[in-house]
Amino acid sequence: MKTIPKPLVMANQWTIVLSVIIAVITQSVWILFIPLIANLSSLLTGFHPILVIVKRFLSKLANEYIQEDYAQLRFNQWLAVGFLFIASISYFLNLIILFNVATVMVGLAALIAILGFCVGCFVRFQYQQWNYRRKNSVTR
C-alpha cells in the first residue's frame, strides 16, 4: 500500500484552508488557483509543487511520520479540485453565491480534516459500500 507522510497531507489541507479564507474575505478567485493548480498537477502528473517544498522542511525521514493512505489522498484531491474548479468557474460567471458556497465547502472539509474527521474519507467509504452492495445485489 502506497502512503504519504501526514505532515504533507496537513500542509495541503492548510494551503486550502488559508487560500479559502483569503478568497472569501477578498472575494477574489485568484488565490484559489494555488491549491487548484497544485492539486490538479499532482493528480495529472504526480508532481505537487507545494508538497515538494514542504518536504524539504520535514525534520525526520518521511517514513518516520504517521502515514496516510495515498489512494484516499487522491480521492480527496479530486473532490477538492472539483469544488475549487466550480468555485473558479462560478466566480467568472458572476455566480457569487455559488462561488462562496463551493469555496466554503472545500475550506470546511479541509479544516474538519485538520481537526481529525476526514469528510472525503467518509464519502469514499460510503461510495465503496454502495458499490459493493450494488455489485452483490446483481449477482444474486
**In 10 A of CB 129, how many CB atoms?**
10
pTM of the model: 0.92
**In 10 A of CB 117, how many CB atoms?**
10
- Distance, in Å, from the CA atom of 35 to the CA atom of 93, rounded to the nearest integer, reads 20
CB 23 within 8 A of CB 83: no
Dump pLDDT digits (tens) for 23-50: 999 999 999 999 999 999 999 999 999 9
**What cell does 85 get?**
474548479
The DSSP bridge partners found for residue 68 are: 4
Find the Cα–Cα–Cα–Cα dihedral 86, 89, 92, 97, rounded to 10°: -20
Dump pLDDT digits (tens) for 63-109: 999 999 999 999 999 999 999 999 999 999 999 999 999 999 999 99
